[in-house]
Structure 1
Amino acid sequence: MTWIEALILLGVGLFTGVINTLAGGGSLITLPLFIFMGLPSSEANATNRIGVFLQSLVAVGGFKSKGVSVFPYAFYVSITAVIGCIIGAYFAIDIKGPLFNKILAVVMVIVIILTVLKPYLAHKGTLEIFTPRRKLLTIVLFFFVGLYGGFIQAGVGFLIIATLTGVHGFNMAKTNSIKSFVIVCYTLVALGIFWWEDQIRWDYGLTLAAGNSAGGWIASRWSVGKDDKWIRIILIVTVVGLAIKLWFFG
């Protein structure tokens, strides 16, 4: 990695750290960035998980310090998510680069549509419905969440939010607490698989993660009460442009 690449990763990491704090979807930028910097798709996909893991780990600690947790429920859904993740991660390793890039381009557009429409916010999450049948349903659904997360990761937070608020009506604090814990669990397993298969570029991943951490720290201190409208507009324009480049020139 050259010093110019390091500066780019730190800058983009700072930017996406802010985006992840205010709006979410930073992986839709960082994953294509690794590909455009010359990393094979499988390595880019694996390396991107370092920042995701560290960010989520910090978030878990933050929620715990505020007394926000949903145990043992979070542990149960994490088990099936991890099982799904193992399958998804090995599928991601085996898939060919050009096909992966086209799949990523389609996923990016779909996630941006979800970001604009915000269907997961239709349920206000003011009344928790926590029956055995609904718990079983989410345990099953989180297998597919883990399957997707192990495969590509980008935008998985939106799927988790939609599942938890749609099925149980959790408020956003509990939803994000569970989301962070689940992502930590299955991302740790995914990193282990990618490390075993020698797919991770630690220098790229840790440099980006440093920028992510700085961006998250900055945004967390001035984001309260701020409108994320412009962040979302920037995210949409950037991701659509990257998706077009991936599809036609990736």
Structure 2
Amino acid sequence: MEIWNILLLFAVGLIAGVINTLAGGGSLLTLPALIFLGLPPNVANATNRIGVFFNGLLSWKGYQSKGVKTEAYDIWLGVTSFIGAILGSYIAVDIKGDTFNKILAAVIVMIVAYMVFGKRVNSGEGIRTNRKSRIIGLVTFFFIGIYGGFIQAGVGYLIIASLSFIHHFSIIKINMIKSLTVLIYTLSALGVFIYSGIINWELGLALAAGNGAGGWLTSRWSTKVNEKYIRYFVMFTAIAFAIKLFFS
């Protein structure tokens, strides 16, 4: 593998790690990069998960180091998404490129519509953690796991929207849960892709180095950033990614 390919994937992974930790959608940068280097869509989708895993691990550890605590319910959200991701990953093994892009574009359009017209990400006031909301959350994360195992790109927006709507968590709490959830369900996705033999380890590890670095650094300083600026960042990246999909 050429050194330029390694440097390119590290740089793209670093940017994607920052984006994934603050909002979501970093895979909309890393997937095209992997395809540009000659990987088929399903192989690029599988290879991308190595970086996603390390980004989730290091960003979650970064939040922990800054005092954003993980509770039992947060782990159970990850467990239900883990189960869903098994199903989604098996679907992704044989996905065709055209179908992949169309589904991704449709999901991003819906997410952008929510971010523009829906209720803004809650600041942590009026948090709801009753039995009903927890059951709804667990069921929702099972389906998020299916999507995450299937495509991954844009899953951060789904998690942000779901936790904000269901529980009214703060954006920092949501991003910690997002990192943990992605970490947990990516384990099952990687298992399916490794079993299917469709991961390019050289390119995946180069990408993972950048993803992990971006996640670790961003998770540590993002706890000091005013939440309204993170909301603006989420809105901007969602709109930018949607435009990219339609005109690419």
Q: What range describes the TM-score normalised by the shorter chain of this pair?
A: 0.7 to 0.9
Distance 1:230 1:64 in 2: 22
1:240 maps to which residue? Answer: 243
Change over 3 Å in CA distance of 1:76–1:122 after alignment to 2: closer
Distance 2:204 2:153 in 1: 15
Letter in 2 for 1:27: S
Letter in 2 for 1:28: L
Change over 3 Å in CA distance of 1:118–1:19 after alignment to 2: farther
What is the CA-CA distance between 1:241 and the residue it aligns to? 3.1
1:248 maps to which residue? Answer: none
Checking the alignment, whether the CA contact within 8 Å between 1:60 and 1:177 is kept in structure 2 is yes
What is the CA-CA distance between 1:92 and the residue it aligns to? 0.7
Checking the alignment, whether the CA contact within 8 Å between 1:161 and 1:176 is kept in structure 2 is yes
Letter in 2 for 1:49: R
RMSD: 2.8
What is the CA-CA distance between 1:238 and the residue it aligns to? 6.0
Q: What number of residue pairs does the alignment pair up?
A: 244
Checking the alignment, whether the CA contact within 8 Å between 1:42 and 1:199 is kept in structure 2 is yes
2:211 maps to which residue? Answer: 212
What is the CA-CA distance between 1:84 and the residue it aligns to? 0.8
| 2:43 maps to 1:16 | no
Change over 3 Å in CA distance of 1:39–1:112 after alignment to 2: farther
Change over 3 Å in CA distance of 1:215–1:121 after alignment to 2: same
Distance 1:46 1:206 in 2: 12
1:25 maps to which residue? Answer: 25
Checking the alignment, whether the CA contact within 8 Å between 1:50 and 1:191 is kept in structure 2 is yes
Distance 1:43 1:177 in 2: 28
Q: Deviation digits for residues 130-184 of structure 1, max 9, x if unmatched?
A: 1111111111111111011110111111111221121112222322222221111
Q: Deviation digits for residues 34-90 of structure 1, max 9, x if unmatched?
A: 223221111111111111111111122122233323421122222221111111000
Letter in 1 for 2:160: I
2:201 maps to which residue? Answer: 202
Distance 2:53 2:158 in 1: 17
Distance 1:22 1:173 in 2: 9
Checking the alignment, whether the CA contact within 8 Å between 1:17 and 1:211 is kept in structure 2 is yes
Query: What does residue range 1-250 of structure 1 map to in structure 2 within 5 Å?
Result: 1-114=1-114, 117=116, 119=118, 121-216=120-215, 224-225=224-225, 236-237=239-240, 240-245=243-248
Distance 1:219 1:170 in 2: 20
After TM superposition, the score normalised by the length of structure 1 is: 0.83
What is the CA-CA distance between 1:120 and the residue it aligns to? 5.5
Change over 3 Å in CA distance of 1:64–1:120 after alignment to 2: farther
Give the unaligned 5+ runs of structure 2: none
Change over 3 Å in CA distance of 1:174–1:42 after alignment to 2: same
Q: Secondary structure at the match of 1:121?
A: coil
Distance 1:109 1:233 in 2: 13
What is the CA-CA distance between 1:25 and the residue it aligns to? 1.8
Letter in 2 for 1:155: G
Change over 3 Å in CA distance of 1:84–1:220 after alignment to 2: closer
